Structure 1
Amino acid sequence: MNRDATLRSDVVSSHSVVGAPCWVSLTARDQEAAEEFYGAVLGWRFRTTRLMDRFRIAYAQGVPVAGIAAVASMWQMAVSWTPYFAVSAADDAVARGQERGGTTAVGPISFPTGRAALMADRDGAVFGIWEGQLFSGWESWRRAAPAFVRLHTRNAFDAAIFYGEVLRWATSEPGCCEVHYDGDEVVLRSDGDVVARIHSGAVEAAPDPTIRPHWQIHFAVTDVEACMKAALEHGGSVQGEVSEFEAVLRDPDGAQFTVTSRSER
């Protein structure tokens, strides 16, 4: 994580929000194109970091909200958005994931302010874990960044068991998340706020990556229609049905995300 973030007085540790999504990162091909697109659609500004040459931090209203790493071609990775979840011990979380049928693509590896790993669950949905200092105060990040993240998976209840055991949901660990049920969805709450949802229906072997199990990032915006217009003007596309409250977009590289009206948070 950004070494400069440690200078902020509201920076907190992953230990205080165990199991909650605490960061999102885009794996891109073209850094300049990604910055132009997300700057136009979401109003972000970007700064360099000491982490690596191909990595930038996106800021909204002065708050760091996301990372963009132009490494998709170099590392032969898919272009996509990935959520990172806070854990108290990255090595232990990775071990729990592997014991329960998950896989580890990267890490855990050490950074100046913590440890991270990139994993996949039993159905192939990719997610990250982070142990250490957060880029900014968690509440500040939540207000400025995603409305929530949603897992589209084969079986929501089976997935909830996997993530619950790996990320220590609904345990006695201080700061852990609460799990609730809302119809056919599993709902994750942190300090009373909905921070993640798990939805059944994805097809494990589907040729379309948007139908296969995956995590979808929902960014909170004030004007969904304006975001759609900006996306189309800057080489992106709009997927499926849209409403005044929500739309699924793709950037020029094909990474998919959702814009959700702040009034619906």
Structure 2
Amino acid sequence: MSALDRAGPGTPCWVSLLTGDLPEAQRFYGAVLGWTFRPGSLGEDFSVALADGRPVAGLGDVARSFGVAVSWTCYFAVDDANLVASRIRERGGTVAVGPVALGHGRVVLAADPAGAVFGFWEGEVMRGWRIGSGAAPAWLELRTRDAFASAVFYGEIFDWDKRSDICEVRYEDEAVMVRAGDSTVACLRGGAIEAAPDPRIRPRWHVYFRVDDVDKAVEAALAAGGAVEAPVGSLENEREAALRDPEGGIFTVTERTGC
């Protein structure tokens, strides 16, 4: 059986750390999240992180070659990368990289009109990988200035409104929830300010990884040379913390099961 599959257009299909030092990134995330690693199918600059033998995320030593900052990036599945890239430009977004051929697909890195960076992928994806399921990230969250304007942008480029059988968009408590099947896979929340110097409140897609004990993850991150970006917080007795790896990649560890 192939390890690859097709994902519903417009749905999150992968997350990857764009790093400038792959061995260092593996050391840090192995210590903090307990991941192991295997070579990726895209070449020696890529590896796949595993939790209990299941794929969690990708790591690519491409930050310098792509000319982008070290960061966690989420990717959405598309049928036609050229079409989506043109829609982004037409709606005030920016296409920074691509489409670039990688393996059996094509990848694009872009930014929405508010400046939040994201990617999309045309081609086969990792079989069984799904936000909120198994070892995959718990969820994705866009923190931006205007959640509703962002929902219109992403809805139009990914056809969320035309593909309600795949993605369902709901407005709840001043946030936009994107559901695929029976799971909320992404949240879009307003309030960030584009010009703010603090990266925690700039428009940004955040990746949440589930852990059994947030405090232990924080201790491991500090011991491995990382930093705490936001103090440990609690919501309904479930804890989370925003962390920064030694190269500057920001991510969140959480004990929660959904956004």
TM-score, scaled relative to structure 1: 0.89
Aligned partners of 2:231 and 2:148: how far apart in 1?
27
Q: What one-letter code is carried by the residue in structure 1 that aligns with 2:160?
A: W
- Note if 1:181 corresponds to 2:166: no
**Counterpart residue identity of residue 76, structure 1:** G
- Counterpart residue type for residue 70 of structure 1: D
What residue number does 1:245 align with? Answer: 239
| Aligned residues with identical type, % of pairs | 49
Provide the rounded CA distance (Å) in 1 between the counterparts of 2:9 and 2:214: 31
Could you say if the C-alpha distance between residues 110 and 72 of structure 1 is closer, same or farther in structure 2, counting changes exceeding 3 Å? closer
Describe the shift of the 1:264–1:245 C-alpha distance in structure 2 as closer, same or farther (beyond 3 A). farther
Q: Which residue of 2 aligns with 1:128?
A: 119
- Select 2:218's aligned residue among 223, 228, 235: 228
Q: Contact between 2:132 and 2:139, CA under 8 Å: does it hold in 1?
A: no
Give me the whole-angstrom Cα distance separating, in 1, the residues matched to 2:84 and 2:100. Answer: 13
Deviation at 1:12, TM superposition (A): 2.2
For residues 137-159 of structure 1, give each alpha carbon's deviation from its aligned partner in whole angstroms, at most 9, with x where no partner exists: 23498321211111111100000
Unaligned runs of 5+ in 2: none
* Contact kept in structure 2, 1:65 and 1:141, CA below 8 Å: no
For residues 142 and 115 of structure 1, what CA distance do their matches in structure 2 show?
25
> Going by fraction, where is helix more abundant, 1 or 2?
1
- Which ranges in structure 1 are unaligned for 5 or more consecutive residues? 1-5
AA in 2 matched with 1:18: P
Q: How does 1:98-117 map to 2 (within 5 A)?
A: 98-117=89-108
Q: For residues 140 and 207 of structure 1, do their structure 2 counterparts lie closer, same or farther at Cα, with a shift above 3 Å needed?
A: closer
Match of 1:208 in 2: 198
Map Cα deviations across residues 227-256 of structure 1 (whole Å, 9 max, x no partner): 111111101111223135211111111111
Amino acid corresponding to residue 185 of structure 1 in structure 2 = A
Equivalent position amino acid for 2:24 in 1: A
- How far the C-alpha of 1:176 sits from its partner, in A, is 2.4
Structure 2 residue identity aligned to 1:7: S
Matches of 2:213 and 2:5 in 1, distance apart? 30
- Contact residue 170 and residue 176 of structure 1 kept, 8 A: no
- Decide which of 3, 6, 17 is 1:13's aligned counterpart: 6
Distance 1:103 1:140 in 2: 25
> In 2, Cα distance between the equivalents of 1:131 and 1:54?
20
SS for the counterpart of 2:138 is strand
- Could you tell me how far apart the structure 2 residues matched to 1:234 and 1:207 are? 26
Using the size of structure 2 for normalisation, the TM-score is 0.91
Cα distance in 2 for partners of 1:154, 1:262 equals 24
Of residues 48-57 and 84-93 in structure 1, the stretch that sits farther from structure 2 once superposed is: 48-57
Match of 1:59 in 2: 50
Structure 2 Cα separation of the partners of residues 76 and 111 of structure 1: 17
1:156-190 deviations in whole A, cap 9, x for unaligned? Answer: 000000000011113246x5211011111111111
2:75 aligned with 1:84:
yes
Aligned amino acid, residue 247 of structure 1? A
Q: How does 1:5-44 map to 2 (within 5 A)?
A: 7-8=2-3, 11-14=4-7, 17-44=8-35
* SS of alignment partner, residue 156 of structure 2: helix
Q: Give 2:97's aligned amino acid.
A: V
Distance 1:150 1:264, change over 3 A: closer
Distance of 1:133 and 1:82 partners within structure 2: 18
Which stretch of the first structure deviates more once superposed, 153-162 or 133-142? 133-142
Distance 1:104 1:140 in 2: 25
Q: Distance in 1 between matches of 2:55 and 2:129?
A: 11
Report the equivalent of 1:3.
Answer: none
CA contact (8 A) 1:63 1:136 kept: no
The amino acid of 1:47's aligned partner reads R
Question: CA, structure 1 residues 120+264, in 2 after alignment: closer, same or farther (shift >3 Å)?
Answer: closer
Question: Any conservation in 1 of the 2:130–2:136 contact (CA below 8 Å)?
Answer: no
Question: What count of residue pairs does the alignment treat as equivalent?
Answer: 255
